[in-house]
A and B are shown apart, each in its own frame.
Chain A
């Protein structure tokens, strides 16, 4: 019975979402073909170095402008089993809301001390930690005045887990009008970090973000 999977929704006020979202329902996968759809990401590659402090371009350089934060949490599956040794790739805009990405052509200032990309690995209990600068919100649709709320991009891969998500900040005025947040509805709450105090480390505050990998890949979590 083809054509009876989920229907993907289009993010309101998001032009790219209109251009790229498949209009047909997703097709169901015959049972016998299901396993072939779950990639197993190998623990290898040139890019596998730890780079946990995004607040500086390098340890010998000054700290970037803005509010330094720690982000930490646990990576687990739906049954609460920790996922160890997975790679988190992290990227976020600087304090002013600009990416140091060659395709970010906005005229928001760059920060000479901020790169904005990093990667960390989960420990044997599935825990991860990184430091970064709290990103600025940026105007995504100047024509209608819609902003992207403050957010940090996180890509998780390793073994049977593969997920790309965004971490949002509590009580941000632009959260409510974000197209992807609107599509998530009440579930959006799960993508908002929980603040904590960081009295003994060299950052201003912390944000807890536990990540639960759902869906197709549970087969390799044993």
Chain B
């Protein structure tokens, strides 16, 4: 780990593993289904409802149980709900773009809407994993049937083989008409997917 050479900066607290017992009573249904706003409200986000079905797989092909999965994405018009875009007319008041769930078994279903393309980026969802034995790791997944993948700068920084590992595949439709996408997130070993280094040392 690189030392923090900027004399006037504080040293960060170490991230640590979430462990096996992230409290299930911290779950929040509003964060597990972004395709709805809140119950009893006549409003819903713009866009195509999708269900992302994922499996978290360890080095030995087993499901990584007890993992906390977080999601971050742009709305249907490609706008992230962050302070940088405050006042942007394309913000969807019914869509926040941040999701979280804890999977007991290691597979999950996340309901949301298809993110729009954003500037030079193909539609994608940032995925953060907190799991026993590791600290936070992050990746970004794409959709095989959406346009823009061939020119996405992140995807194109990877080998063809690795690009395929980050592409969710369209596999049918749910009873309520949502498009279903599937992805295997292999955390370690032979078919390990790419994870990304998002730490920035200030002053770099």
Give bound CA distance, A26 to B138, whole Å.
Answer: 9
For residue A90, which residue of chain B has the nearest CB? B23
Question: B interface, by DSSP: helix, strand, loop or mixed?
Answer: loop
Cβ of A147 within 8 Å of any chain B Cβ, yes or no, is no
Per-residue interface assignment for chain B, residues 17 to 30, with 1 indicating a CB less than 8 Å from any chain A CB and 0 otherwise: 11111111111111
Chain A residues whose CB sits within 8 angstroms of the CB of B26 once the complex forms: 47, 89, 117, 119
Per-residue interface assignment for chain A, residues 205 to 222, with 1 indicating a CB less than 8 Å from any chain B CB and 0 otherwise: 000001111111011100
Give bound CA distance, A6 to B121, whole Å.
Answer: 24
A23 → B minimal CB distance (Å): 6
Chain A residues whose CB sits within 8 angstroms of the CB of B27 once the complex forms: 47
Question: A interface, by DSSP: helix, strand, loop or mixed?
Answer: mixed
Give bound CA distance, A33 to B21, whole Å.
Answer: 33
CB contacts between A and B, total, < 8 Å: 234
Chain A residues whose CB sits within 8 angstroms of the CB of B82 once the complex forms: 38, 40, 160, 220
Cβ of A191 within 8 Å of any chain B Cβ, yes or no, is yes
Give bound CA distance, A8 to B17, whole Å.
Answer: 13
Q: Is A214 in contact with B197, judged by CB distance below 8 angstroms?
A: no
New A-B pairs, 20, CB < 8 Å, besides A16-B20, A36-B121, A166-B19:
A2-B157, A2-B158, A2-B194, A6-B197, A16-B134, A20-B59, A23-B188, A27-B196, A29-B198, A36-B74, A40-B82, A104-B20, A162-B70, A164-B16, A164-B130, A180-B17, A184-B14, A187-B1, A187-B14, A216-B198
For the complex of A and B, 5 pairs with smallest distance between CB atoms = A214-B12, A5-B197, A16-B133, A17-B133, A39-B72
